[in-house]
Every structure is written in structure tokens, then in C-alpha cells.
Structure 1
């Protein structure tokens, strides 16, 4: 699931024996948002010419793994690339120490979220599960909905979704 405390509490109440797994995309997204918020905060204090360059450097700052990227974000990618739960736990611990040493507010908030979701994040490596398929289905349905703008018959809309999802 994504990192929604409402979803987690509902799952815990309705399925008390279920093992809740955070979705890796949403875990990485937290760190990416933290990096983006740092970039925006720093950008505000720059001179106009440098601000434009910094704004264009956004994609460079968010590149993945073997390409240039800031240390905290690179470490999150490293955590998500762990082979097992023990390696992930060690890398996550190293990331927490780096975030504490850097004392960057946006990443401190991200670390708080990770600490709150630690069990669910580590379950990614215990189970190997992802909600990528579900996210893909939701995206396909949204595209169908956008293309069907103005369709008044819900049953026809439902059948169209079922037909498109079965192919």
C-alpha cells in the first residue's frame, strides 16, 4: 500500500493477521519529494540567473542510481536495491544516520515517515510484493475514464473497463 496511515489503520482493523507491505514506489517518492522541496527552498534564495539554472537542474538531481544524484536520495535508491531484509535494515540505518548528520528539515520529515513505516518498508524485502499491478490497473481505468468523458451510462462505462482490462 502507499504510505497512508488511514489505509494502514483500516487494514489493521479489517485484516488483523495480514502482513502489511509498503509499496517501494511510494517509499522512494517520499525521498524524491524531500529532495524537490530542498531544491525549491534553496532556489528561492538564489539570484535570478542562477535560479533559472537550478530550476532546469531538477531532472539531474532526481536521476537514478549510477547517474549523479544527491547522497540522501542515492542512499534511498540503495536501500530499495537491497537483496534481503537484513541488508535493507543496515542500509536504512545508515541512511537515518546520514539524515541526522545532515540536519535537513525536509529529509528529517522523510526519516520520521520511514521510522513510522519501518515494519511495512522492511516487509517489501521479506515478501517481494508490490502494488505495481494495481497501480497500473488504476492508471488504465483513469485513461479510459478520461477518454469516456461525457459517457452517461455507467453500465456501459463499466463494461468498457472490463473489456479493456481483459485484453
Structure 2
């Protein structure tokens, strides 16, 4: 009955002890006399007890003590012990099943390492070392990354390091069709993503048809260099935000020029700062009339009015899916925004749109965006919140890929720590 409860293959339970902090289960493996490679006579050479952290038993932390039989060859003098990887492996403080269980809870379920370590009754590093040992084999499996049709890049803040809290960034490489995190590389420059893509086979890179990005020159250079055949697609959300930022900058500038101070709650432009960001079709009749009235009161040169209309014109670029109409619309936007009568913020917006015109209109042909990449970034931030911050990039990469990289968890029972 004890052997059945312990649930390990080919072991005999010698005894179970009730210790103050955990249960102590002592086992041994009934093995026959082995043979030495030299052909000499082998005899027993004592017993070696090795203690491992095992899965909790009935809500209590458990230690598994393995009484390993030592053997010695009388001819060559070589000594060794019994070994069974399904029970435990050398240099791992957890049993094999406890290491797999920890990887499943920390990686797939996104639990805190400290929470799992508390349940097992061991230290944080004991659990994290096991998660890294098994997790890297899962995420580096060659079948995890299949064929990719659309690739996305985006950055997120990894940690603040050092005495001066220097920002350290990481770049997520995502399959935007399946919403799968392919890998995490350090920094937000073009160097590491280029190195990662260079390590992929040329045939794999040639299958990528679309490359999504968030109007970043660094990531644009990555795609220009490593994926010249892929069509680059600017993320619609970031195009909308660019227009909204131009409107907000224009409002703040006009506010300072007309009133001589920053916005206050009684100033006309400050009272409509939120209403300006709402889509025009979502405004009721009273809200629209109030918006126009306050613009007349606080915008004597109608600069904010022009910026608001420019924001709405940019939004209308994505009101349809006709590629030819989108090309004509963006060309018209670039031409109109360059007019000298426009505010400086609108003219700057027009120059940016002209620079990214082909990437903006490519959305109407591909219908892919950087939304899945942003969703993966949110999952990475969730891992960071659960961990109360991470400073080791290797740990950060393993935990993010286990959580959002969609590894094949059916391989877990076959992996040894």
C-alpha cells in the first residue's frame, strides 16, 4: 500500500517518518548485480542516501530519501551508484515528477515561483532551476515554431536595473496569425531580432508574407534587411494614436498661446480635451454642438478645429477595405496636410503618413495587425506582475515562452531535468 501511494516505478518503501516540517519517505530500488565494462567482478560497496524534494502528500511537504546501492569493480576500481531518471536525476534537488509538476504550474498556469516553492517546502532557486532545466527543453523543441505567414515585432519594458534604475527592454517576436510568442530577445534595437531571424532557415523566412510593426524605424530596418520579400503593415491602432497625439499637442499649444498658461478646468479647450478624442460618429447631437461652441470660444484661429478634422480623416482610412481607394485616400491626406494653412502638428503628421504610406495601405490587403503582439506583451507583463519584477533575462524568457509560446505540453512526461 505504501508503494502504491508513493507511486514511483520499481521502488520498495523502506519507511515513512513524521518530521516537524515534512514527511520523510525512504525508498530503495531492487536491482540485480550489474556488470562492469572491463568484465571484472562487481560487489556491493555500501549505501548512499540522497534526499530529494517530492510532491506534497495529503497537503504536507515531503522529502524522498533514496537509498542508492553503491557498487565497486574489483578489477578497475570504478565505483558507481544505482540510477533511475524517472525517480530523480543528478544535480536536481527535486524528484523528476516534482520538477515536471513545478514547470507545469509556473509555466502553463502562470503561478509565482515563491508560491510553488512554499507548497513544496523548499527554496525559490530550487524550483526555478528545475523550471529552467525542463522549460528550455520544451521551448527549444524544433517543432514548436512551425511555418509563419505573418510576423510581428514589439517591445516591452523588461526591468529597471542598477543603481540608477536604467530601463532594460525586450523584444517579442510573434506569429500574429496564431497569436503565438515565438521568442523573446533582449533590447529594442534591430541587432537581436536580426540575429534571431538569421538563425532561421532561408526557406522559413521566405514563407513570411506579412510583417507587422508599430511605426518603429528599428523594426522597419529588421524587415528591410532580413525579410525583403515580406510586405510591411503598419498597425492601425498606432496610426490612430499618432493622429490623436498630433491633436493633443495642437490643443496644448493653442491653450498656452491664447491663455498664457496650461489648461484649467474652466478653460474652453480644457473642458473638451476628452471629447476631442471621441470618434465623431459616437458624439450625440448635444455633445457635437457643445464641442463646436467651445472650439469657437477657445480656438480663435481654428487650429484645433483643423487638427480635429485631420484626426477624423485619418480614422476614415480604415472605414473600408478597398486597397485602391486607400491608396488614393492616403495620397490625398498627404497632399492636404502639407498645406501652409494647416497647424504645424498636422503638417508633421502629414510628413509621417507620407513616410509610412505603403505600410498604412498594406493593411487593406493583408488585414493583419500588431494586435496579437500587443496581447502577448500583456501576457509577458502579467508574468512580471506575478513575479513582482524579474531581473534575470533567462528566467524572463523561459517563463514568457512557457506561458505564451504554446509549447507541446504532451512532451512534458518525456523530458528529464
Q: What's the TM-score once normalised by structure 1's chain length?
A: 0.84
Report whether the alignment pairs 1:2 with 2:214: yes
How many angstroms does 1:48 deviate by? Answer: 7.3
Number of residues of Structure 1 aligned to a counterpart in Structure 2: 166
- Report the alpha carbon displacement of residue 163 of structure 1 after superposing the two structures with TM: 5.4
- Deviation, 1:72, is 0.5
Match in the other structure for 2:343: 104
Matches within 5 A, 1:50-69: 51-52=263-264, 53=267, 54-66=269-281, 67=283, 68=288
Cα distance in 2 between the residues matched to 1:133 and 1:152: 25
Aligned with 1:134 (options 357, 373, 390): 373
Alpha-carbon distance, 1:158 to partner: 5.1
Shift in Å at residue 65 of structure 1? 3.9
Aligned with 2:311 (options 55, 65, 73): 73
Gaps spanning 5+ residues in structure 1: where?
none
Question: CA, structure 1 residues 151+46, in 2 after alignment: closer, same or farther (shift >3 Å)?
Answer: same
Residue 257 of structure 2 corresponds to residue 18 of structure 1: no
- 1:69-119 per-position Cα deviation (integer Å, ceiling 9, x unaligned): 821111011012222111212222332343234421111111111111111
Which 5+ residue runs of structure 2 have no aligned equivalent? 1-212, 292-307, 407-417
Contact 1:65–1:78 (8 Å) recurs in 2: no
Structure 1 or 2: more strand by fraction: 2
How far apart, CA to CA, are the structure 2 residues paired with 1:48 and 1:106?
19
User: Is the CA contact (8 Å cut-off) linking 2:215 and 2:234 kept in structure 1?
Assistant: yes
| Counterparts of 1:129 and 1:151, CA distance in 2 | 31
TM-score by length of 2: 0.36
Looking at both structures, which has the greater relative contact order when contacts are Cα pairs under 8 Å and sequence separation is at least 6? 1
How has the CA–CA distance of structure 1 residues 154 and 58 changed in structure 2, closer, same or farther, with 3 Å as cutoff? same
State the match for 2:257 in structure 1: 45
1:110-157 residue CA offsets vs partner (Å, 9 max, x unmatched): 111111111111111111111101111102212321332255776665
